[in-house]
Amino acid sequence: APIIRREDYQAPAYWIRTVDLSFDLDPAKTLVINKMTIERNAELPVQSLRLDGEDLNLTRVMVNGEPATFRVENDQLVLDALPDGPFTLEVRNTIAPEKNLQLSGLYTSGGGFFTQCEAQGFRRISYFLDRPDVMAVYTVTLRADAEKYPVLLGNGNLVAQGELDGGRHFAKWHDPFPKPSYLFALVAAKLVSREQKIVSRSGKEHLLQVYVRAGDLDKTEHAMNSLIASVVWDEARFGLPLDLERFMIVAVSDFNMGAMENKGLNIFNTKFVLASPATATDADFANIESVVAHEYFHNWTGNRVTCRDWFQLSLKEGLTVYRDQEFSQDMAGEASARAVKRIEDVRQLRQFQFPEDAGPMAHPVRPEQYQAIDNFYTATVYEKGAEVVRMMATLVGRRGFAKGMTLYFQRHDGQAVTCDDFAQAIADANPGSELAERLDAFKRWYSQAGTPQVTARGAYDAAARTYTLELAQTGTPNPGQPHRLPSVIPFAMGLLASDDGSALPLQLADEPGDTGTHRVLVLAEAEQRFVFVNVDREPVPSLLRGYSAPVHLDAALADTALLTLLQHDSDAFNRWEAGQQLALNRLLAALRGGSTQLDAAFIDAMRGVLRHPTLDAALKELVLTLPSETVVAEELGAEVDPARIHALREGFRLQLAQALRDDWVWAFETQAPIGGYSPDARAAGQRALVNLALSMLVLDATASGDTVWPGRAYQRFKDATSMSERFGALTALVNAHAELAAPALERFHALFADEALVIDKWFALQAGAPEPLGEGAGAVFERVRTLAQHPDFTLRNPNRARSLLMPLTLMNPAAFHRADAAGYVFWADKVVEVDAFNPQLASRLARSLDRWRLLAEPYRSAAREAIARVAARAELSDDTREIVTRSLQ
Ligand code: B3K
Ligand code: ZN
């Protein structure tokens, strides 16, 4: 495929103003009639009209009602001689939805019709200017068999419906908002809906609907509640109301990603809609809340204002992720629960975005080029993009950011714009702010790839009562650029007294008076020095509080300083961070030949956290969880031996299990939430801590041959009243390789045989289980190979395929990376197999070997060989080809 470059952007030669689409829906052969009104873009020289198409059977082309001359060239429909003024173009074609296994465009799933058009799926439905800067008003008529497809849905408002001959019926939908083709959607299926009427602040009535299959209605309450909360939140926080009479969510079980924000008709992976206490974990409930919110928030950030071109993807994705993160924090409530959400988001960033930014797919938040745009729906565009928006909000303050958003919509409502436009609006609404003063430098966050490194060194001068903090930033330049230019880094910090951890004042040398105990420094040069005066006591610096910028921080703090932060920091994020740093230091030291035994100071600190009288249970659970094997590997940076990291980390885990045995018992017995199931942050945190305690107790017991705790876990597994409890107990048994794991897994499967999403968990749990150490090593991988032959397993359903393949290849390094290369062979086989029918799914899986260069031998050579084997195939999608090619470069 050709390389598409950002610098080559050109406005479209024609504008499509209105679209009148009609569908005669049939799985084998659907007729699409597409009547467009089109105008030449008067600002450009006269050119041919080139409409995108893919896998279409073209049957007729008419201009102004007359048969027209046309040609089809590289998939495009080309018309040369066109009227000078506005004209109508009618294109007829047929498509075969049941053969559409790549799930892009119009496809069938579970006997219904569904669409997915972002980024370039609309061209698989009809010929079109399939680019986000062409925005049209759509009217859509759906015709289908009334019995098989009783529900017919489109974007916008229902304007007509009725019976047709031959048992068919129709529905006509009109969406008053001009939209790009990627936001088009239709659904025709046998579904039922949960409905809720709401009245917005302005007094307008709206109908909210969640559509699912008949048996799933009892699992829609949480999604509906999340939707209502999202509507209320966006109006309260940003003054952004719901702009449609009707807002629909439809769940579908075959879907390539999480969900899609089609105007007024969001289509969701069932995984992010369906939840009941019996079938969904706390994490599932939280994910549903955030994905429902994310798609709803897109209605303004994405739909009302959209992207000029796909290089600007983070304009809508980074901003909308930031918004959903803020929403979830607000829903969590108190300061400590907000910090827990922040920690979870940063964990995600480190687990997925950091490796991406250091690997072959590294790209700026606003990429410069691509071959397959679907490959750029990445952690960098989404999660790092959200960090960039968060930094802007930090630099201009909460109210300043809200003002910036208002200006953004005043300027750009109804337009397709760029990341520059967004940053400009936030800056212009905040004249004199650090953001406005340094906007060009700040925007390097959009153009420079890689995670910057910030080095912080402090020195206390007791005689002068000063504390000098020196900050320096470095990073690797983008390919083809001589050097990296400094970013503008908001650096939140405080100082704690080293003796009792109390907060110290933060007065800089040239400042008068009291400046509080928490502040945001702005690091904008390669190196900067900050001198704090009137510092009476030796301080411990609390740096990059709340993770105020997406950087690697090297502060080289001593254990004593980290222990002070862990115990006293008012910033809950940095308490967690200090605990992670203590653990990481020990893991890295052990990997470099140091002690593999945890010291008393560390154990006591962990006990102090676990037993703490006031800390949140959720925070405790996070602090007591060691950094992941992936994070350790990234920190190591070279010569990674996944088996060794695994053995050391498991060794530490076992030591924590043993040394804190009585404390885990105490946590298990006293920390559970009281009352019936509620997915709120507090109760979920308590369950998470209890589940961790149980895991530790079963781990310890299995190692020592004791059967009491495995027995208790099995009992809890059987008696559980919620999936969180049940799955927690099952996880404890499976991860410890307890003998009772097998009967528990069997029972679990039997209990939930009809619940596809729960069976996904059953696969995922087994594929993500830690490999046993020593004798028995390799059992988890063998289990995955066996499960790939299980009658319930299929690569055709993306959720099921991912449930087995992703936990192994992305989350379970020691099981995947084997000295005999069997993991890589398995990976290559699956990539090739999936690529033949679903390139988007395949190219995601292909990325599991991104970081092969980090590996020690023999892994490294074997991994490269496996990638080369995939790359050598003549038949490969553009998506997967781009990944493996870049990987080998
Ligand atoms: N915008 C969609 C993602 C589309 C992915 C296309 N390959 C979901 C979201 O970010 O909300
Ligand atoms: Zn999104």
Amino acid at 269: N
pTM above 0.95, yes or no: yes
Instruction: Based on the residue annotation, tell me whether 295 is a catalytic residue of this protein.
Output: yes
Q: Mean pLDDT throughout 472-496?
A: 94
| Predicted local confidence at residue 162, as pLDDT | 98
Using the predicted structure, report yes or no on whether residue 481 has a pLDDT greater than 90: no
pLDDT at 202: 86
Q: What is the ipTM of this complex?
A: 0.99
292 C-alpha to ligand 1 centroid (Å): 13
Considering every ligand atom, which ligand is closest to the CA of 256?
A: 1
What is d(CA 568, CA 658) in angstroms, rounded to the nearest whole number? 26
**Vertex 710: Cα angle to 762 and 583 (nearest 5):** 80
565 pLDDT higher than 90: yes
Question: Is residue 1 over pLDDT 90?
Answer: no
Helix (H) or strand (E) holding 864: helix 859-871
| Cβ atoms 696, 657 nearer than 8 A | yes
Q: What is the pLDDT of residues 723-739, one digit of tens each?
A: 999 999 999 999 999 99
CB within 8 Å of 474: residues ≥ 6 apart: 452, 453, 455, 484, 526
Phi/psi at 83 (nearest 5 deg)? -60, 155
pLDDT tens digits for 49-74? 999 999 999 999 999 999 999 999 99
Which residue's CA is the nearest one to ligand 1's atom 8?
260
Max Cα-Cα span within the chain: 94
Query: For a substitution probing ligand 1, which of 183, 265, 317, 327 has the most ligand atoms within 8 Å of its CB?
Result: 317
Q: What is the mean pLDDT of the chain?
A: 98
pLDDT at 514: 80
Catalytic residue among 90, 289, 295, 356: 295
Ligand 1 atom nearest 382 alpha carbon = 10
Residue 294 alpha carbon, nearest atom of ligand 1? 11
Does residue 157 contact residue 174 with C-beta atoms inside 8 Å? yes
Contact 94, 25 (CB under 8 A): no
- 414 contacts: CB under 8 Å, gap ≥ 6: 135, 177, 178, 304, 305
Provide the pLDDT for residue 727. 99
Give how far the C-alpha of residue 803 lies from the chain's centroid of Cα atoms, to the nearest Å: 16
Architecture of domain 306-447: Orthogonal Bundle (1.10)
Ligand 2 centroid, distance to 234 Cα (angstroms): 16
Which two tokens mark 438?
């340094």
User: What is the Cα–Cα distance from 340 to 342, expressed in whole angstroms?
Assistant: 5
Q: Which CATH number fits the domain 453-556, given the four candidates 1.10.3720.10, 3.40.50.300, 3.40.605.10, 2.60.40.1840?
A: 2.60.40.1840
User: Going by CA atoms, what residue is nearest to atom 3 of ligand 1?
Assistant: 260
Q: Which residues line ligand 1 (CB under 6 A)?
A: 118-119, 257, 259-261, 294-295, 298, 317, 374, 377
Tokens representing 22?
């009609």
Give 425-439 pLDDT, tens digit per residue.
Answer: 999 999 999 999 999
Architecture of domain 1-100+123-185: Sandwich (2.60)
State the ligand closest to the CA atom of 386: 2
Asked whether the domain spanning 306-447 has the same topology as the one spanning 1-100+123-185, the reply is no
pLDDT digits (tens, 9 = 90+) for 496-529: 999 999 999 999 999 988 889 999 999 999 999 9
State CA 96 to chain mean position distance: 31
If one counts every other C-beta atom within 10 angstroms of the C-beta of residue 522, the result is 17
Q: Is the pLDDT at 200 greater than 90, yes or no? A: no
Asked if pLDDT for residue 579 goes beyond 90, the answer is: yes
pLDDT at 849 over 90: yes
In the reported structure, the alpha carbon of residue 242 is separated from the centroid of ligand 1 by a whole-number distance in angstroms of 20
CA distance 556 to 562: 10
Distance between CA 834 and CA 841 in Å, rounded? Answer: 7
What pLDDT is recorded for position 201?
86
Tell me the pLDDT tens digit for each residue of 265-323: 999 999 999 999 999 999 999 999 999 999 999 999 999 999 999 999 999 999 999 99
pLDDT at residue 105 is higher than 90: yes
User: Sorting pLDDT into bands at 50, 70 and 90, what band is 419?
Assistant: very high
Three-state DSSP string of 492-542 = EEEEEECCCCCEECCEECCCCCCCCCCEEEEECCCEEEEEEECCCCCEEEE
Share of the chain above pLDDT 90, in %: 98
Distance of CA 105 from the midpoint of ligand 1 (Å) = 14
- Give domain limits for the chain: 1-100+123-185, 306-447, 453-556
pLDDT one-digit tens code per residue, 694-722: 999 999 999 999 999 999 999 999 999 99
Ligand nearest to the CA of 120: 1
Q: Do the beta carbons of residue 195 and residue 208 sit within 8 Å? A: yes
- The tens digit of pLDDT for each residue in 7-48 reads 999 999 999 999 999 999 999 999 999 999 999 999 999 999
pLDDT per residue over 612-651, tens digit each?
A: 999 999 999 999 999 999 999 999 999 999 999 999 999 9
Residue with CA nearest ligand 1 atom 1: 260
DSSP SS3 for 216: helix
